[in-house]
């Protein structure tokens, strides 16, 4: 199922055509861009430990390893973005028949926006070898469609220190009428709010302490209670050449956040007749779904290839991991649609789907002849959806069961001297009752 989803989303001919349309300085001589994506995909899914290992195992690779790395290191970020956008558009009609018509917000298509910074890479590049601190290869703005379970846009940026809000221009160009955007306070600026509003789209964005500093138009009034505390509402206005009148939803938390905050303020242009203040507050809480998606990218897929220190290469690896996540998400949707999981009290885990793929994929590719896969790309989205739903009926869902557990309470340990932090202890002695000293 995963192979079919990936083969449809990343049809080789389509990938190479997209590369030719989007490239600026790169060109194709012997190494097709689709071959690069295929090799990086093996790393993302965890079937090969590194790009070097994936290339070494490919007997048909037409170029040297140096030429492969040269192409990877020069892949332009806007090509990666087009790849994610295009593959998501190809998968959207595949996953739509699998999803129950349960809207997050009636009348809106929800989009969750957040930034993702790639972790420090290994210091293989000569200019970094004498640097003692962390070398950050880049960041991305990610747009997630939670109702479909797909990442629909990624804006890669090579400068890891660039402000997220400063990168928003290209993302704002893709805002569409009828969408509802959820974002944290990093994106709370009058420019962003106005741009979304002018596209006749809606937003729920957490208010930053310093921006956009709206003018209060009336008294704050309590309107109800949500899951996390009391909810208040107030009319406000963002001043400017075209004043923007908004609703400010204020949640007084029963328990403070990790940062010790007890009040969260949200700005929205959604009319009260469409979403009440309590519904706005509860909907914003659901934006943590994108954090879960980031967690799965890190834990389930190899989205952070630390050996790739050059920004363009690291961003390509992240983009291909997003593509693999979307394919796994489609398979997960097919399984959920083909079984009565509510009656069985089972939630499906993306982690165990990926684990099953890693276990079986290599053997499958040895047993199934390459020509048996030919023609898969010719399926329509409707045909592929029907095929995946039929195959999903044969899945033993108990083997993919998620095991949710209560959230761990984070305890700040505070500062201790280095000699204390480096001290070790024998676990067996502690379990026998000996005291920690």
Return the bridge partners of 215, or none: 237
Q: Residue 249's pLDDT is what?
A: 95
What confidence score (pLDDT) does residue 408 get?
65
Q: What is the pLDDT of residues 9-51, one digit of tens each?
A: 888 889 999 998 988 877 777 788 889 999 988 888 888 888 8
pLDDT above 70 for 292? yes
> Do residues 157 and 181 lie in contact, with contact meaning Cβ atoms separated by under 8 Å?
no
Question: Can you spell out the DSSP letters for 135-195?
Answer: ----EEEEEEETTTTEEEEEEEES-TTS-GGGG-HHHHTT--TTEEEEE-GGG--HHHHHH
pLDDT at residue 407 is higher than 70: no
Query: Does a cis peptide bond (omega within 30 degrees of 0) precede residue 212?
Result: yes
Q: What is the pLDDT of residue 404?
A: 77
> What would the two tokens of residue 20 be?
């030719």
pLDDT attached to residue 434 = 84
Look up the pTM and report it.
0.89
What per-residue confidence (pLDDT) applies to 379? Answer: 82
Query: pLDDT tens digit string along 136-161?
Result: 889 999 999 999 999 999 999 999 99
- 118-132, 184-198, 385-399: the lowest-pLDDT one: 118-132
Compute the distance between CA of residue 169 and CA of residue 80 in angstroms, rounded to an integer.
Answer: 17
As a whole number, mean pLDDT of residues 239-257 equals: 91
**Higher per-residue pLDDT: 381 or 302:** 381
* Alpha-helical segments (H) within 57-130: 65-73, 77-95
- Mutual angle of helices 381-392 and 77-95, in 10-degree steps: 70
- Would you state the pLDDT for residue 386? 94
**pLDDT for 7 beyond 90:** no
Q: Is there a contact between 188 and 212 (Cβ–Cβ < 8 Å)?
A: yes
For residue 416, give the DSSP letter: -
Q: Are strands 179-183 and 109-117 parallel, antiparallel or unpaired?
A: parallel
List of long-range contacts for 215-222, beta carbons under 8 Å, 24+ apart: 215/239, 216/248, 217/245, 220/248, 220/250
User: What number is the average pLDDT over the span 260-288?
Assistant: 92
- Please tell me the distance from the alpha carbon of residue 148 to that of residue 124, in angstroms, as a whole number: 39
The answer, yes or no, to whether residue 377 has pLDDT greater than 70, is no
């Amino acid at each position: 199922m995963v192979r079919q989803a990936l083969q449809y989303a990343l049809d080789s001919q389509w990938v190479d055509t997209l590369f030719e349309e989007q490239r600026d300085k790169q060109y194709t001589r012997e190494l097709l861009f689709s071959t690069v994506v295929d090799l990086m995909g093996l790393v993302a899914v965890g079937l090969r430990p590194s790009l070097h290992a994936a290339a070494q195992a490919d007997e048909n690779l037409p170029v040297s390893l140096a030429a492969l790395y040269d192409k990877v290191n020069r892949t332009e970020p806007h090509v990666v973005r087009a790849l994610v956008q295009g593959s998501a558009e190809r998968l959207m009609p595949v996953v739509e028949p699998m999803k129950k018509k349960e809207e997050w917000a009636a009348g809106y298509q929800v989009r969750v926006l957040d930034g993702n910074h790639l972790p420090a890479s290994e210091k293989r590049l000569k200019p970094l070898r004498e640097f003692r601190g962390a070398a950050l290869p880049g960041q991305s703005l990610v747009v997630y469609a939670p109702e479909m379970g797909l990442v629909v846009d990624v804006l890669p940026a090579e400068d890891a220190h660039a402000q997220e809000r400063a990168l928003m221009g290209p993302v704002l160009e893709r805002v569409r009428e009828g969408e509802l955007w959820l974002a944290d306070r990093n994106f709370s600026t009058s420019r962003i709010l106005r741009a979304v509003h002018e596209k006749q789209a809606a937003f729920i964005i957490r208010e930053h302490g310093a921006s956009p500093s709206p003018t209060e138009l009336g008294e704050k009034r309590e309107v109800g209670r949500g899951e996390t505390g009391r909810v208040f509402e107030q009319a406000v206005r963002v001043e400017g050449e075209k004043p923007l009148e908004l609703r400010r939803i204020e949640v007084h938390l029963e328990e403070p956040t990790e940062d010790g905050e007890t009040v969260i303020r949200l700005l929205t242009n959604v009319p009260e007749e469409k979403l009440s203040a309590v519904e706005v507050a509860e909907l914003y809480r659901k934006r943590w779904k994108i954090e879960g998606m980031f967690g799965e990218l890190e834990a389930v897929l190899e989205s952070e290839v630390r050996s790739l220190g050059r920004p363009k290469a690291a961003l390509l690896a992240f983009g291909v991991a997003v593509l693999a996540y979307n394919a796994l998400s489609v398979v997960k949707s097919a399984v959920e649609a083909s079984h009565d999981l509510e009656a069985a009290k089972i939630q499906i885990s993306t982690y165990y789907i990926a684990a099953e793929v890693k276990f079986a994929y290599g053997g499958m590719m040895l047993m199934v002849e390459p020509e048996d896969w030919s023609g898969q790309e010719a399926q329509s989205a409707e045909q592929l959806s029907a095929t995946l739903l039929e195959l999903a009926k044969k899945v033993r869902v108990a083997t993919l069961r998620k095991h949710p557990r209560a959230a761990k309470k984070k305890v700040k340990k505070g500062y201790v001297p280095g000699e204390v932090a480096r001290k070790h202890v024998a676990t067996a002695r502690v379990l026998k009752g000996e005291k920690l000293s």
